[in-house]
Amino acid sequence: MSEEILKLSCVELQRKITKGEVKSSEAVSAVFERIEKHDVQIGAFLSTFKQDAMARAKEIDSKIAKGQKVGALAGVPIAVKDNMCTTFGTTTCASKILENFRSPYNATVIDKLLAADAVIIGKTNLDEFAMGSSTENSGLKKTVNPWDKSRVPGGSSGGSAAAVAAQMCFAALGSDTGGSIRQPASFCGVAGLKPTYGRVSRYGLVAYGSSLDQIGPLTKDTADCALMLNVIAGHDGKDSTSVDEKTAPKCDYLAKIDEPVKGLKIAVVPELFQGADSEVVAAVKGAIEIYKKSDAEIIEIKMPHFEYSIAAYYLIATAEASSNLARYDGVHYGYRTKKAGDYIEVYTKSRAEAFGQEVKRRIMLGTYALSSGYYDAYYLKALKVRNLIRSDFIAAFQKADCIMMPTSPTTAFKIGEKMADPLQMYLSDVYTIAVNLAGVPGMSIGCGFDKNNLPIGLQIISSTFQEEKLLRIAKMFENQTDFHKQKPRINTDKYEKKLTTNEHE
Amino acid sequence: MGQKKIDIEQVRQVAKLSRLDLSEDEIAQFSGQLSAILEYIEKLNQLDTSKVEPLAHCLPINNCLREDIVKQSLGTEKTLANAPQSDGQFFIVPKILEEPGRL
């Protein structure tokens, strides 16, 4: 029974729960059986809430039994990246500096999940403060890729991606500042959506790069992304950068998900394929061929400023981070050193003892970029280049409905492979970062496997606030393929993909 | 690479501004790593941006004003709940007034 339940998508599970065909408590039990069996190896979760989740599931089951109205995620077990504040459990950001932090309030997305009757089962691992591309920068735990335990799950939402791929939850929330939803989604073979900047409230998301951060879902398939976006999107008075309904009305992203986009025009940037592994290029080109066969028109374009996105990003994001992370002072909350002689040392030693290397490196780089004498040459220059990068996107969307490219130049790399050289790690975000700088929505869906049976992601990017169309475009591909239905085999040394929905691990 | 983009003394200065008490090993390591990153970032100078406006964020939003409404705040107990040291009413920190001029 529990294996049957685990195969369901969120959309399917929610329907079955509301019809009384499956109990939420059964789904929660199934998920915890799975976590107890596999998470010792995978390491996706930093904390779980088994008792509370079971109690909540039973409440929802009894509401349904009494015929009461329930929400869009009724009884569905969901995981949340541990950089979103919850009044229950801790909110650690995978940092020693917040290891014991208990938030006095919920992030808006958490309140929205709860209002939709979701069951939050646990909080997932990440690169410390979401700074990284492999989850290896977590200060608290190691997470591995469910497809190959010697490889990284991607990052920074690596725990969320691994948890969805390993069927230890039905969907998860992640955050994406430079690719942190899309790249782990690609590495773990799940769907991941970064909405338009401003679509989802960032209230209660621990800030990293505030002009770039955006919360989004990681799910088994595109329809589940649409369902999750339905729940979390919308204006929030507590986040002045969340757009109002007049500027960009939200809609029902699930209602027309199966309606193909007529006269679809897809832009591709041939130069951008040069930097990717040949197997990744072949899979992405194969995916574009499938669209072509469905009468999509492929338009070759140039994005002359795209290649500058990593350089601009690592100034802008680190500058914002250096300011955002000034709040960790060893005074108001979080870790305090035991070795402070005076109040200055409370700051300097608390921060030095509790921040990890990557966080320190980014604070240093950002502080340098903002410091007197360097501001114009670095920070201001990067903001101007950001404008040029955005103009590339604006020009592209005048010609096409979306842009397609790989999510990542490679499949999941080996644990430790890029840890010695931070610049090499940064360069692995080459395809995702420009999307954040331009503020547009982007998505990764599975489009193939390499010779090591590691998932390959197709990135689809659309214009500002066009998530509805973006999701429909992604769904057109899923309707013709079964990459999204393949699951990793865990717990053995050999991994094999499964070819039909009926098979499972 | 020749001259490092950011030398040991500059790293020390930035660490001070960042309120990070770095070890000598970290300072040496960051000098090398940050120099390599800044070297890469130099590529931005290939672009002429003399006629480009800086873009701080991508939203069609400027000032967001709201009604000034009185709401319940967190309160002392919740505010101090995560404090590393407090007396139930205040955050406790080492004396800050002994060395004027040091900031």
Residue A461 lies in a domain: yes
Q: Is the dihedral of CA A259, A265, A269, A273 positive or negative?
A: positive
Residue A181 lies in a domain: yes
Determine, for residues B94 and A343 on separate chains, whether the beta-carbon distance falls below 8 Å: yes
Q: What is the number of domains present in chain A?
A: 1
CA gap A505, A489 in Å, rounded? 6
Local mean pLDDT, 10-residue blocks, chain A (505 residues): 93 98 98 97 98 98 97 98 98 98 98 98 98 98 98 98 98 98 98 98 98 98 98 95 91 97 98 96 98 97 98 98 98 96 95 98 97 94 98 98 98 96 93 98 98 98 98 98 95 42 31
The letter for the amino acid at A482 is: D
Residue A10, CA distances (Å) to A163, A202, A223 in order = 14, 23, 9
Residue A312 lies in a domain: no
* Matching residue, tokens 């130099």: B42
The pLDDT assigned to B64 comes to 82
The first and second tokens of residue A363, run together, are: 């604070």
The first and second tokens of residue A358, run together, are: 């990557």
Question: 3-state DSSP call for residue A197?
Answer: coil
Closest-CA distance, A482 to chain B, in angstroms, reads 36
Closest-CA distance, B83 to chain A, in angstroms, reads 4
pTM summary value = 0.95
CA gap A177, A98 in Å, rounded? 20
Residue A436 lies in a domain: yes
The pLDDT assigned to B98 comes to 64
A&B contacts, CB < 8 Å: 164
Residue A379 lies in a domain: no
Residue A225 lies in a domain: yes
Whether a cis peptide bond, with omega within 30° of 0, leads into B35 is no
Residue A404, CA distances (Å) to A218, A270, A272, A445, A503 in order = 19, 10, 10, 11, 30
Determine, for residues A361 and B22 on separate chains, whether the beta-carbon distance falls below 8 Å: no
Q: Are A60 and A15 in contact (CB under 8 A)?
A: no
Other beta carbons within 10 angstroms of residue A452's beta carbon come to 12
Q: In this structure, what CATH number is given to the domain that contains residue A395?
A: 3.90.1300.10
Q: Are strands A171-176 and A214-219 parallel, antiparallel or unpaired?
A: antiparallel
Selected for mutation to probe chain B from A95, A385, A427, A463 (highest B CB count within 10 Å) is A385
Residue A325 lies in a domain: no
Q: CA geometry: angle at A326 spanning A370 and A135, to 5°?
A: 95
Residue B1 has pLDDT above 70, yes or no: no
The pLDDT assigned to A490 comes to 87
Distance from chain centroid for Cα A160: 7
Helix or strand (DSSP H, E) at A120 = strand A119-124
A-facing residues of B in 8-47 (CB < 8 A) are: 10-11, 14-15, 17-23, 26, 30, 33-34, 36-38, 40-41, 43-47
Q: Are A172 and A163 in contact (CB under 8 A)?
A: yes
Q: Which of A384, A438, A313 is nearest to B50 (CA)?
A: A384
- Chain B residue closest in CA terms to A91: B82
The pLDDT assigned to A494 comes to 41
3-state helix, strand, coil in chain B (%, to 5): 35, 0, 60
Quote the ipTM score. 0.92
The pLDDT assigned to A75 comes to 98
- Residues of A marked as catalytic: 81, 156, 180
CA gap A403, A469 in Å, rounded? 12
What phi and psi values does residue A459 have, to the nearest 5 degrees? -100, 130
| Domain containing residue A189 | 2-307+385-485
Closest-CA distance, A302 to chain B, in angstroms, reads 16
Q: Are A335 and A99 in contact (CB under 8 A)?
A: yes
The pLDDT assigned to A500 comes to 34
* Res. B99 pLDDT band, cuts 50 70 90: low
DSSP track, A145-191: BTTBTTB---SSSHHHHHHHHTTSSSEEEEEESSSTTHHHHHHHT-E
* Res. B61 pLDDT band, cuts 50 70 90: confident
Residue among A349, A361, A439 whose CB faces B59 most closely: A439
Residue A212 lies in a domain: yes
Q: Which of A138, A221, A189 is nearest to A490 (CA)?
A: A189
Determine, for residues B11 and A422 on separate chains, whether the beta-carbon distance falls below 8 Å: no
* Residues on chain B touching A322 (C-beta within 8 angstroms): 18
Question: 3-state DSSP call for residue A114?
Answer: helix
